[in-house]
A and B are shown apart, each in its own frame.
Chain A
Amino acid sequence: MKPSSSRFPDNAAAALANPRLRAALDTLPGGLVAQRRAAVAAVPEFEALREAARAIRDATLDDLASHLEAFETKAISMGSKVHWASDASEACRIVLDICRAARARLVVKGKSMVSEEIGLNAHLEAEGLEVVESDLGEYIIQKRGETPSHIIAPAIHLTEADVAADFRAYHTHLPADRRLDTPQSLVAEARNVLRQKFLAADVGITGANFLVAETGSSIIVTNEGNGDLAQTLPRVHIVVATIDKVVPTLTEAMTLLRVLARSATGQDMTAYTTLATGPRRPGDLDGPEQSHIVLIDNGRSEMLASDMRDALRCIRCGACMNHCPVYNAIGGHAYGWVYPGPIGAVLTPSLLGIVETSHLPNASTFCGSCETVCPVKIPLVSLMRTWRERAKQQRLETWPARALSKLWISTATRPALYHLLARVAVAIGGALGRRKGRFSSLPFARGWLAHRELPAPQGRTFQQLWRETERGVPR
Chain B
Amino acid sequence: MQAARAGLFVTCLIDLIRPSAGFAAARLIEGAGCTVVVPDRQTCCGQPAYNSGDRSGALALALQTVRAFADCDYVVVPSGSCAAMLKIHYPRLFANADAATQKDVSAFAAKVHELCAFLADVRHIDAVPGRYQGRVTYHDACSGLRELGIKSAPRKLLALVPGVDLNEMSEPEACCGFGGLFAEKYPGISNAIVTRKLDDATAADAGLLLAGDLGCLMNIAGKMSRTGCSVACRHIAEVLAGELSDPPIGRGPAEHP
Contacts and interface: CB of A to CB of B under 8 A. Distances in A.
Contact of B64 (A29, A387, A413): A413
B186 to A, nearest CB: 5
Nearest to A411: B43
Contacts of B151: none
B146 A371 contact: yes
Q: Does more than half of chain A's interface fall in helix, strand or loop, or is it mixed?
A: helix
A458 B40 contact: no
Interface residues of B, number: 77
Contact of B40 (A9, A371, A415): A415
Interface stretch (A196-204, A248-256, A258-266, A447-455): A447-455
Interface string A410-426: 01110100110010011
A362 B181 CA distance: 9
A388 B55 CA distance: 10
A452 B179 contact: no
Contacts, number: 219
Contact of B179 (A329, A364, A435, A440): A364
Interface in A6-30: 9, 12-13, 16, 29
Contacts of B143: 366, 368
Interface stretch (A54-62, A87-95, A141-149, A459-467): A459-467
B73 interface: no
Contacts of A437: 247, 250-253, 255
A474 B24 CA distance: 11
User: Interface on chain B toward A: helix, strand, loop, or mixed SS?
Assistant: helix
B40 A13 contact: no
Contact of A409 (B37, B49, B174, B183): B49
A51 B179 CA distance: 28
Contacts of B252: 434-438
Contacts of B156: none
A463 B54 CA distance: 26
A195 interface: no
Interface in B188-247: 188-194, 218-219, 221-223, 225-226, 243, 245-247
A463 B17 CA distance: 12
Contacts of A362: 182, 185-186
A448 to B, nearest CB: 5
Interface in A305-344: 325-326, 328-330
A458 B222 contact: no
Given A329-B189, A391-B53, A435-B252, A462 B23 contact: yes
Contacts of B53: 385, 387-393
Nearest to B68: A415
A119 interface: no
Contacts of A372: 146
B22 interface: yes
A447 B187 contact: yes
Interface of A: 9, 12-13, 16, 29, 325-326, 328-330, 362-369, 371-372, 385, 387-393, 397, 401, 405, 408-409, 411-413, 415, 418-419, 422, 425-426, 434-438, 440, 445, 447-448, 450-458, 460-463, 465-467, 471-475
The 10 A-B pairs at the shortest CB distance, nearest first, are namely: A365-B179, A388-B53, A392-B53, A452-B222, A455-B250, A447-B187, A462-B19, A437-B252, A367-B175, A451-B191
18 contacts: A12-B186, A29-B171, A326-B186, A365-B190, A368-B146, A372-B146, A389-B55, A392-B53, A405-B57, A408-B44, A412-B46, A434-B253, A448-B184, A451-B190, A462-B10, A462-B38, A466-B22, A471-B37
